[in-house]
Structure formats: C-alpha cells, structure tokens
Amino acid sequence: MNDTRLIAFYLPQFHPIPENDVWWGKGFTEWRNVVAAKPVFPEHYQPHLPADLGFYDLRIPEVREAQAQMARDHGIYGFCYYFYYFNGKRLLNRPLDENLASGKPDFPFCICWANENWTRRWDGNDSHILIEQVHSQKDDIDFIHQLIPVLKDKRYIRVNNKLLLLVYRVDRMPEPLETASTWREIVKKELNAELYLCAVNNFVKDIDPVKIGFDGTVQFPLDFHPSCRVDIERFAQANELDFANIKDHWIIDYPRIIQQMASLEKPRYKFFRGVFPSWDNTPRRQNSSAIFINSSPDLYKLFLKATLALTRAEHAGDEQLVFINAWNEWAEGAHLEPDQKYGMRWLEATKEAMDEVDDKADALEALRSHCGEDALKVPGLSTQSQNAQLQFESPLSSEIDVILNSYTFRAGKLILWFPIRILTLYKRLTKKKHE
C-alpha cells in the first residue's frame, strides 16, 4: 500500500484580470504565450497545446471540478495553490476565492505564498518590475490574517494535524524566524491550530528550516548541477544548427538531472522531495529559454517511483509527501494535464508509479538503468547527433557561468555566497594550473 501523498503545484493564472490587461494587453492569460511559442531547433517540442481540458478559463466552476476529478483519478492527493499577495493587494485570487465560497471541488489543497516580484522577464528579480513584493513586519501580519479564511477550510491539507503552509522565497523575508513565530501565534489565537511551515528551496539551497523557525524544506524540482547543462556550441555543431540562433538558451538534460535529484542524500533536517514531468519556459522567454531535453512520461514515471521509494524510507505517516511541479504550468512546459502530444500519459504515469510500489534499491536501479549514455542523445535532429553523444560543459567552467547568470545574482546586491564561491573556484583553478 502506498500512503505517500502527492501534492501538485497549481497555477491559478488562466483567467483575465485588470492588472494583466494593463501590463500585457486586454484579455491576457498565459494561453497567449503558450500558443505563440515556437521551436528553438528541429524536434523541439513547442508549443505545448492542451487536449482534454482545452484552453480553459478558471472562472468556470466546471473546469475546476474537472481538474480535481482528473487529479484524483490519477493518484494526486491535492493541489498547492500559488497565493499572490503584495502588501495588501491580492492577484489571481478568483479561482481560490470561489473554491472557498462554494466548497467545490471537494479536493484537498494548501497554499504556497509566491512572495516575489512580478516582472516583465518572468524571473521574480529586481528589474522591469510590474508589482513589487516588499516585506515588513506589518505586511507579514496582514498576510497571515488574509489567509485565516483559507486555513480554516475543512479541505485544507494538514501534516501531523498542523496546517501546511509553504513560502516560495524565504530569502526575501528580512526576519523569517520572527515572522514564523508571529504567524504561529496568530493562527493559534484565531483558529486554535498549529502551522506546519515549509520553505521552498528554489533560489536558495540547503535551507535549514529549524534556523528560521520552520518545520521543513520542500525541494523545488529545478535544482540541477551545472554538469547537467549541455554545451550549447557543441550541441549546435552536432545537430547542424546555427549557433547564433540558440546561443542565449540553456539546454539541460532531463535524464541527468533526475538521476542527480534521486541521488541526493537526505539532509539533516526534514526535507520533502519533488519531481517534475518536463520543463521548458520558451513561451515566456522565446529567445533565452531553459529547455530540458529528453524527458518522457516513461522516464518521469521511473523518477517518481524512485522519489516515492526514497520518501517512504525517509519519512513516516503524514510526512510522506512528494511535491510535483506542476499541475498546469503550461508556459513552463511543466504540466500533468493532458496535451496534444502525450495525451493522458503524464497522468497515467503518475498513477502507475503510485500503484507499482518498489523498494528503494530496485527503484533507484531502474532509474539508473534507463538514464544511461544513450538517453543523452537527442533523437530526430541530424544523422551526426544519432551517432555521437551530446557534449556537456565541464562542471567548473559551467559553474562560473551559472553564478554569473543566476537569478539570485543582482547588481548592487551581492549575495554573501557569491564572493565566497568565486574564491573557491579561483583556488581550484590555481591548483589545477600547478598540477
């Protein structure tokens, strides 16, 4: 029996709002970006177009019911809604508000506070800001009061009878320890309940939740080592592509990253693993996207099976949680919802993984055996690419490049680890030179 609970991140974006009308044009939703995406190279799967649910509008109750039923039928326990709150202003709130008002769909859910800037570059950073996320003690208190009606809903997901609340960017919070304590006091007073706080380790890694007053950390499934990134120049040569047309893109090998994620040892603190079916943000960044190649429902299934086995070994009871990125991130190529290429296969693979319980050793070996060197080739491009493995950047040179291009590196705001990391790399280069 598999008692692990799968929670899929849910984007409540697909309906028009006045703010997006101003920023992007009348009637904008992300479907506009999705359908406009173009392949960057031959056999690049773009655009991703929806199948069974169509180009839906989340203002329609029947759409939300259909999503929940589809998720339930395929082993998903609940949704984790992104919650957009900016200093007293909420955005994209209608789907959740109508869910609360109607009590439908009858499907478990929790919240992830997406506490970052909205920008024209879709990267949450400090340039081209559309609406800014500014933290203060007052705002943090206002936020948790805004959340009280959500937390009191009977469908809200609990862990050890505590209300599960995720924060996407704890690095943006000036005093997370103090904030966590304040939130707990307010929820205890208002609801006579406890919070189970989790930090998402996307932009900052190795977050020890205890040090910031949280209970656990959620692995956001885009954590990859630089060795997973394909050398773009060699990729262009091997596949007879014009380097100038693809030089600003990142191409990352899916088989390598899922092996890396499955091989990650559990940290000393509570750590909840994550998976993703695929990822490609070309719809948002047509000329400088990050494209994960060689993904498939079959590989995703093995990845999920391995992650489920690891979770069963690392956690017990309510803490057997796995997070999926995502239910419906169509503009990032990360969706379980059926598309016109794969149909229901992403969802079917999810259910199969939940039903086929393997022990940890067998699940990890099955994943390794299907992510061998042959999986590193991109099929269907050129004869040359069929006969040669893709070349990958050296971890050292790529790591420098990753730092310089990192979303967390911002001019005038040098993060502490940046000079330390550069010094470490310099020492490694010096040592190598003298060997």
- Whether residues 242 and 312 fall in one domain: yes
- Whether residues 46 and 72 fall in one domain: yes
CB 7 within 8 A of CB 327: no
Q: In the numeric block, which tokens belong to residue 170? A: 């704890």
Q: In the numeric block, which tokens belong to residue 195? A: 């919070």
Range of lowest pLDDT (274-288, 352-366, 397-411): 397-411
| Mean pLDDT score of the chain | 87
pLDDT > 50? residue 352: yes
Range of lowest pLDDT (194-198, 304-308, 377-381): 377-381
- Whether residues 377 and 423 fall in one domain: no
- Whether residues 432 and 310 fall in one domain: no
- Whether residues 296 and 407 fall in one domain: no
Read off the pLDDT of residues 232-284 as tens digits, 9 standing for 90 and up.
Answer: 999 999 889 999 999 999 999 999 999 999 999 999 999 999 999 999 999 99
- Whether residues 266 and 404 fall in one domain: no
Considering 9-23, 120-134, 365-379, the range whose residues carry the highest mean pLDDT is 9-23
- Whether residues 306 and 418 fall in one domain: no
CB 218 within 8 A of CB 202: no
DSSP 139-200: HHHHHHHHHHHHHTSTTB-EETTEEEEEES-GGG-S-HHHHHHHHHHHHHHHHS--EEEEEE
Read off the pLDDT of residues 53-73 as tens digits, 9 standing for 90 and up.
Answer: 999 999 999 999 999 999 999
Q: How many domains does the chain have?
A: 2
Q: In the numeric block, which tokens belong to residue 85? A: 């709150």
CB 304 within 8 A of CB 221: no
- Whether residues 100 and 153 fall in one domain: yes
β-strand pairing of 109-113 with 129-131 = unpaired
Range of lowest pLDDT (128-132, 167-171, 409-413): 409-413
pTM of the model: 0.87
Q: What pLDDT band is residue 221 in, cutting at 50, 70 and 90? A: confident
- Whether residues 108 and 68 fall in one domain: yes
- Whether residues 248 and 150 fall in one domain: yes
Nearest CA among 379, 290, 274 for reference residue 323? 274
> What letter represents residue 276's amino acid?
F
Domain hosting residue 380, numbered range: 5-392
Nearest CA among 329, 259, 246 for reference residue 48? 329
- Whether residues 141 and 195 fall in one domain: yes
The enclosing domain of 343 has a CATH number of: 3.20.20.80
- Whether residues 300 and 420 fall in one domain: no
CA distance 57 to 64: 9
